[in-house]
Chains A and B, each alone.
Chain A
Amino acid sequence: MGRKLLLTHIDVPGIQSYSVYKAQGGYRSVDKALKSMSPDDVVEEVKKSGLRGRGGAGFPTGMKWSFLAKPEGVPRYLVCNADESEPGTFKDRYLMTHIPHALIEGMIVSSYALGAHTSFIYVRGEMMPQIRILEKAIAEAKAAGYLGKNILGSGYDLELYVQPGGGAYICGEETALLESLEGKRGNPRIKPPFPAIAGLYGCPTVVNNVESIAATVPIINDGGEEYAKIGIERSTGTKLISAGGNLAKPGVYEIELGLPVEEFIYSDEYCGGIANGKKLKAVVAGGSSVPILPANLITKTIKGDARLMTYESLADGGFQSGTMMGSGGFIAFDEDQCIVRNTWNFTRFYRHESCGQCSPCREGTGWMEKVLYNIEHGRGTTNDIDLLWDIQRKIEGNTICPLGDAAAWPVAAAIRHFRDEFEWHINHGQEAQNRNYGLAHYADPLEVVTES
């Protein structure tokens, strides 16, 4: 059994409540940090742990914290990114729903480390149940003296707020999130300046993912070095993976980084193999924006090494034959799934969610979606694949924020690895049009959702 640090008590009845959470050893890290550690000590432990941001980019959390500017007389903020809108990723929601106090505890420890006295949890607006759960948890923590003025008599004050988000994927991008938190349209800001220098209301700010913040709790409890012993290389600790698609046992799993992908998919402890005894065709390993991997590259790298669930191993081979850990949204496709259809579906999402500030992303995502719609519906032409390839190249790297890249990569990887499927759609237009997805009871589900 893999060790668990975040979901240890997930099965304890009533763990959502403060009293049960506390009885299981909750809030120890706050006691320890506030009573026996300086804020810099906390930062140091997080650095030692090697924790990398769990929001997608994998940037070392301790290092990010040490970049925070500390001008005199200016407030600093910690903002928790609980927007979680990446298709395929649902691990933060799971954590917040079932163990909300793990996040609150992490927020207190992290805010203390950063010298923040006001912190925010920015939750995607649609997640009303989670917002209520967090609000209740905050009230409980406050009543127990873990929030508010002079926490545990340490002289440290912290107010923690939950802010419902704008309900747009782009509001998960950290600078768009800050704009949204300030009450503005959720458009990404142009960097620099980075939030560590000028973030919320122009003040130094750290934005961290839910899971990153929750991970600071075991790091403080057991020490950064202990944490770093789990995992391998530059991928330390445990990671929540939200597994979906055609897996026998989809769900949220806490894995030790370094677990072989094969074991994750096929062992009974995790996903239990592919549903209905089908064969695995492809995997999107880290949420919809990362490149898709074909069957031959899922469990082995191009060099023939076992592919592991680590930042390095998943990325091995670059975008030619590798992918990314991303936000840990693991989607498996069985042999019956259509890659073209999936690519169109993902692109439809990015088109809808582009904020529209930069021309290549605004127009390019829309263009790709329409071309893909045609191919998927048996109306593609022979030039369309090259055209798609060209459009995604024009978006990638030329935009303000990484949403442009996130829209381009899935298309590039699908064409790179599954060009024959695109060609099939183009050469067998009539058959492509007549495929039945088991959705026959809707008149024409595709027409309803498409806007082109």
Chain B
Amino acid sequence: MAEEVQKFKVSIDGISVDVDAGTTILNAARKIGGDIVPPAMCYYSKLEGSGGKCRTCLVKVTKGSEKDPRPMPKLVASCRTTVMDGMEVQNITSPDVVEARKSVVEMLLINHPLDCPVCDQAGECKLQDLGYEHGSENTRYDFPRRTFERIDIGDKIQLHMNRCILCYRCVYVANQLTNTREHGILYRGDHAEISTYIENALDNDYIGNVIDVCPVGALTDKTFRFKNRVWFTKPVNAHRDCPSCSGRVTLWYKGSDVLRVTARKDEYDEVEEFICNTCRFDKKETADWTLEDPTKVSQESVIASNHYTQFQPPAVIPENTPLKEANWEQLARTEKLK
């Protein structure tokens, strides 16, 4: 008989959900959806050991569990804290959390320029979103920022260290997905930087995935860089019979040209299945692919400004009964989008 997985009840911003024991607060929140999902800049569900670093996902645990109802003394990283039965968590309903998140955004933006107009990640950058949601217009930081020359790390990938927020995701990709790791983090503190081992290039069948996981514009695809803005392109799901990966990708079209190939991403901007370099960099003809359907793009994304699918209300509304029952305010906000 299969072992029964213990279920825990946890409430986040007053909305209850039942999850398996061992689930993190972040993933419990993702199960509910909507605004109560904490933002995550370093956690990446597909990468083991990720999370805990950026501190954007901090939440307040106001009740530890049914057994031990004491609140946790400090805010905790929701991506690395597992739920207990009866736990009560505050995300957007806690002024402390909102304040802390604002602080984290301010810190992250110290060494990440807001040069969205010239950054290749514009429109797909979670930090840009966070900046709008939690940042203030003015920064109180008035010292020179650290700057770096761009470097080509391999013939397909460019590193723009200026924009790196040291989330470690690309390092985990290289560690967990490829046979060799040619890059990592050098130095400590605010001197820390991503770099390759001396004169090494990133070339490895799966290394292109570092581009997809980078939450900001620090690692970019040299075959796509500055060919276009992402909101002028049209994403289409496609697949091919690939001997080394699933071959399931998103093609980014401009007219009839495939400008870029990426792995498919889920609603939290995480890659569904990592893809190989051949699919990513070498298959840029429609003839290489079997097209499926237009990629669904969130209505809130700038990429949606170019969508040509039939308008679909965000999936969260009709299906998300807990949200519907528990949070009228949020529901009304989302309904307005219809």
Chain A residues whose CB sits within 8 angstroms of the CB of B177 once the complex forms: none
- The answer on a CB contact under 8 Å between B77 and A190 is yes
Once bound together, how far apart are the Cα atoms of A356 and B187, in whole Å? Answer: 9
Interface flag for B107 (CB, 8 Å): yes
Q: A351-B190, A363-B108, A365-B190 are in contact. Are A357 and B53 (CB under 8 A)?
A: yes
The 3 closest A-B pairs by CB, nearest first: A354-B189, A356-B192, A366-B190
A351, A360, A370 — which one has the most chain B CB atoms within 10 A of its CB?
A360
Q: What bracket does the count of chain B residues touching chain A fall in? A: 20 to 34
- A357-B166, A358-B52, A366-B189 known; 8 new pairs, CB 8 Å cut-off, are A185-B184, A358-B55, A361-B189, A362-B107, A363-B107, A363-B110, A398-B58, A451-B191
Interface string of B276-300 (1 = CB under 8 A from A): 0000000000000000000000000
**Nearest chain B CB to A346 CB, angstrom units:** 14
Looking at the complex, which one of A168, A359, A399 makes contact with B108 (CB distance below 8 Å)?
A: A359
Looking at the complex, which one of A357, A362, A394 makes contact with B103 (CB distance below 8 Å)?
A: A394
Interface flag for B74 (CB, 8 Å): yes
Interface size in chain A (residues, C-beta < 8 A): 30
Once bound together, how far apart are the Cα atoms of A399 and B53, in whole Å? Answer: 8
**Nearest chain B CB to A353 CB, angstrom units:** 7
Q: Within residues 395 to 412 of chain A, which ones have a CB less than 8 A from any CB in chain B?
A: 397-400
Q: A190-B52, A190-B77, A359-B107 are in contact. Are A387 and B140 (CB under 8 A)?
A: yes
Interface flag for A355 (CB, 8 Å): yes
Q: Within residues 342 to 374 of chain A, which ones have a CB less than 8 A from any CB in chain B?
A: 351-367, 370
Once bound together, how far apart are the Cα atoms of A359 and B165, in whole Å? Answer: 8
Q: A394-B103, A398-B58 are in contact. Are A362 and B143 (CB under 8 A)?
A: no
Interface flag for B98 (CB, 8 Å): no
Looking at the complex, which one of B75, B100, B184, B190 makes contact with A363 (CB distance below 8 Å)?
A: B190
Interface flag for A340 (CB, 8 Å): no
Q: Within residues 174 to 188 of chain B, which ones have a CB less than 8 A from any CB in chain A?
A: 184-185, 187-188
Chain A residues whose CB sits within 8 angstroms of the CB of B77 once the complex forms: 190, 400
Interface string of B88-126 (1 = CB under 8 A from A): 000000000000100110111011000000000000000
**Nearest chain A CB to B259 CB, angstrom units:** 33
9 pairs of residues in contact across A and B, judged by CB atoms under 8 Å: A170-B188, A355-B188, A356-B166, A360-B103, A360-B104, A361-B189, A366-B110, A366-B189, A397-B74
Interface flag for A24 (CB, 8 Å): no
Interface flag for B197 (CB, 8 Å): no
B140, B168, B187 — which one has the most chain A CB atoms within 10 A of its CB?
B140
- The answer on a CB contact under 8 Å between A367 and B141 is yes
Chain B residues whose CB sits within 8 angstroms of the CB of A355 once the complex forms: 188-189, 192
Once bound together, how far apart are the Cα atoms of A397 and B55, in whole Å? Answer: 11
Once bound together, how far apart are the Cα atoms of A203 and B185, in whole Å? Answer: 26
Interface flag for B54 (CB, 8 Å): yes
Once bound together, how far apart are the Cα atoms of A170 and B194, in whole Å? Answer: 19
Interface flag for B80 (CB, 8 Å): yes
B58, B140, B188, B192 — which one has the most chain A CB atoms within 10 A of its CB?
B188
Once bound together, how far apart are the Cα atoms of A370 and B143, in whole Å? Answer: 8
Interface flag for A452 (CB, 8 Å): yes
Q: A394-B107, A398-B100 are in contact. Are A365 and B189 (CB under 8 A)?
A: yes
- The answer on a CB contact under 8 Å between B54 and A358 is yes
- The answer on a CB contact under 8 Å between A359 and B141 is no
Chain B residues whose CB sits within 8 angstroms of the CB of A352 once the complex forms: 188-189
Once bound together, how far apart are the Cα atoms of A198 and B166, in whole Å? Answer: 26
**Nearest chain A CB to B112 CB, angstrom units:** 10
- The answer on a CB contact under 8 Å between B188 and A364 is no
Once bound together, how far apart are the Cα atoms of A224 and B167, in whole Å? Answer: 47
Chain A residues whose CB sits within 8 angstroms of the CB of B103 once the complex forms: 360, 394, 398
Interface string of A373-401 (1 = CB under 8 A from B): 00000000000000100000010011110
**Nearest chain A CB to B82 CB, angstrom units:** 9
Q: Which residue of B lies closest to A396 (CB)?
A: B74
- The answer on a CB contact under 8 Å between A356 and B185 is yes
Looking at the complex, which one of A353, A387, A399 makes contact with B55 (CB distance below 8 Å)?
A: A399
Q: Which residue of B lies closest to A354 (CB)?
A: B189
Once bound together, how far apart are the Cα atoms of A353 and B187, in whole Å? Answer: 10
Once bound together, how far apart are the Cα atoms of A387 and B103, in whole Å? Answer: 12
- The answer on a CB contact under 8 Å between B100 and A362 is no
**Nearest chain A CB to B72 CB, angstrom units:** 11
Chain A residues whose CB sits within 8 angstroms of the CB of B106 once the complex forms: 394
Once bound together, how far apart are the Cα atoms of A351 and B191, in whole Å? Answer: 9
Chain A residues whose CB sits within 8 angstroms of the CB of B188 once the complex forms: 168, 170, 352-356
Q: Which residue of A lies closest to B74 (CB)?
A: A397
Q: Which residue of A lies closest to B104 (CB)?
A: A359
Q: Within residues 62 to 94 of chain B, which ones have a CB less than 8 A from any CB in chain A?
A: 74-75, 77, 80
Q: A359-B104, A367-B110 are in contact. Are A398 and B75 (CB under 8 A)?
A: yes
Chain A residues whose CB sits within 8 angstroms of the CB of B166 once the complex forms: 356-357, 359, 362
Q: A370-B143, A397-B75 are in contact. Are A356 and B190 (CB under 8 A)?
A: yes
Q: Which residue of B lies closest to A355 (CB)?
A: B188
